[in-house]
């Protein structure tokens, strides 16, 4: 539910990448995701530092010491060529090492590559992203939570993935995901899996469904599909519940590493701090987990080539009424 100005800025961002030689939507999303993360890291760190100063608590910034020049607010002021070199040699390597070495994020960021090579494209992209965040701040003044708008921005970016790739990659429409979540009704404490997760839409839909159940009525809104939604989760008062929800609830698998990175970033952009998404072929005989998850929701891959010798060919029927 983005306003016209934000949508226009996102469309301009796509146009800049297209004219800048990055026309593959998956590749463009990869690169835009990295930039959005750089921006959000700076914003979140500043907010945490201000909160700590207000409460008198100690806060260790991720940019402490000699890392202040890795902030978005620093490098966005650099000239084109200097900015590009700075991000390539300092900021992006820092981004890849953010989480602990055992996390799924760190594992799949290890092979990530920053492929923007034109200073003009980088400068224009940084400027447009700043425009988008400025508009988001204005929406905050009207009572729109940043988490909602931030998630909608990423969903709108992902909507550009409209054609199937060679692995049969289709993005399931949000209203279909929402309907399935209403029918399946995942609960807090469930382990939820999408064995062909792509951008993570079903996992995100499950997260939002659970959050709605724990959001007070006065904080809920009716979305564009006529469904009541709440993102605050103010009834979740136990920190252990939040930790379980964000770290031990959502599991996803995909064959394509780019899709894994996009899925990870999509969930993290929506506030799921430690999503469990891995690169794995769940149709392969190497995947032998059984009775591990409470809820499974997916749009199974229905196009592309598979190695029949290495795949489980018998797919069990699913009774959705169960």
For residue 192, how many other CB atoms are within 10 A of its CB? Answer: 24
Closest CA to 180 of 155, 209, 216: 209
Structural domains in the chain?
Answer: 1-162 (1.20.1260.30), 170-303 (3.40.50.150)
The pTM assigned to this predicted structure is 0.71
Predicted local confidence at residue 167, as pLDDT: 42
Residue 89 C-alpha from the chain's centroid: 24
Predicted local confidence at residue 185, as pLDDT: 94
Predicted local confidence at residue 170, as pLDDT: 58
Instruction: Confirm if 28 and 15 have CB atoms less than 8 A apart.
Output: no
Distance of alpha carbon 195 from alpha carbon 21, whole angstroms: 33
Which helix (H) or strand (E) covers residue 295, if one does? strand 295-296
What are the backbone dihedrals phi and psi of residue 215, each rounded to the nearest 5 degrees, phi first?
-115, 130
**Structure token pair of residue 280:** 């794995």
Three-class HEC string of 26-95: HHHHHHHHHHHHHHHHHHHHHHHHHHHHHHCCCCCCCCCHHHHHHCHHHHCCCCHHHHHHHHHHHHHHHH
Predicted local confidence at residue 268, as pLDDT: 77
Predicted local confidence at residue 78, as pLDDT: 96
Residue 306 C-alpha from the chain's centroid: 28
Query: Residue ranges of the chain with pLDDT lower than 70?
Result: 1, 99-106, 108, 140-151, 160-171, 224, 269, 288, 301-322
What are the backbone dihedrals phi and psi of residue 229, each rounded to the nearest 5 degrees, phi first?
-135, 145
What are the backbone dihedrals phi and psi of residue 7, each rounded to the nearest 5 degrees, phi first?
-60, -40
For residue 188, how many other CB atoms are within 10 A of its CB? Answer: 14
């Amino acid at each position: 539910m983005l306003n016209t100005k934000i949508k226009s800025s996102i469309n301009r961002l796509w146009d800049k990448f297209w004219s800048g030689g990055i026309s593959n939507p998956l590749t463009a999303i990869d690169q835009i995701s990295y930039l959005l993360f750089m921006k959000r890291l700076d914003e979140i760190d500043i907010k945490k530092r201000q909160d700590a100063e207000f409460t008198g608590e100690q806060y260790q910034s991720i940019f402490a010491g000699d890392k202040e020049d890795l902030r978005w607010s620093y490098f966005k002021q650099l000239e084109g060529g200097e900015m590009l070199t700075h991000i390539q040699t300092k900021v992006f390597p820092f981004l890849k090492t953010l989480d602990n070495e055992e996390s799924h994020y760190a594992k799949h960021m290890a092979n990530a590559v920053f492929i923007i090579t034109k200073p003009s494209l980088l400068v224009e992209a940084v400027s447009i992203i700043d425009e988008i965040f400025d508009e988001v701040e204005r929406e905050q003044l009207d009572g729109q939570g940043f988490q909602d708008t931030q998630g909608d921005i990423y969903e709108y970016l992902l909507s550009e993935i409209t054609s199937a790739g060679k692995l049969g990659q289709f993005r399931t429409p949000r209203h279909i995901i929402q309907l399935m979540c209403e029918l399946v009704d995942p609960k807090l404490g469930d382990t939820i899996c999408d064995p062909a997760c792509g951008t993570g839409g079903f996992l995100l839909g499950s997260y939002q469904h659970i959050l709605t159940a724990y959001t007070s009525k006065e904080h809920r809104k009716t979305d564009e599909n006529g469904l009541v939604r709440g993102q605050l989760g103010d009834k979740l008062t136990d920190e252990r519940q939040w930790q379980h929800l964000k770290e031990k609830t959502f599991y996803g698998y995909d064959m394509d590493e780019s899709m894994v990175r996009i899925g990870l970033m999509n969930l993290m952009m929506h506030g799921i701090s430690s999503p469990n998404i891995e690169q794995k072929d769940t149709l392969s005989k190497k995947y032998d987990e059984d009775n591990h998850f409470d809820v499974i929701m997916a749009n199974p891959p229905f196009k592309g080539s598979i190695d029949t010798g290495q795949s489980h060919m018998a797919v069990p029927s699913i009774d959705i009424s169960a």
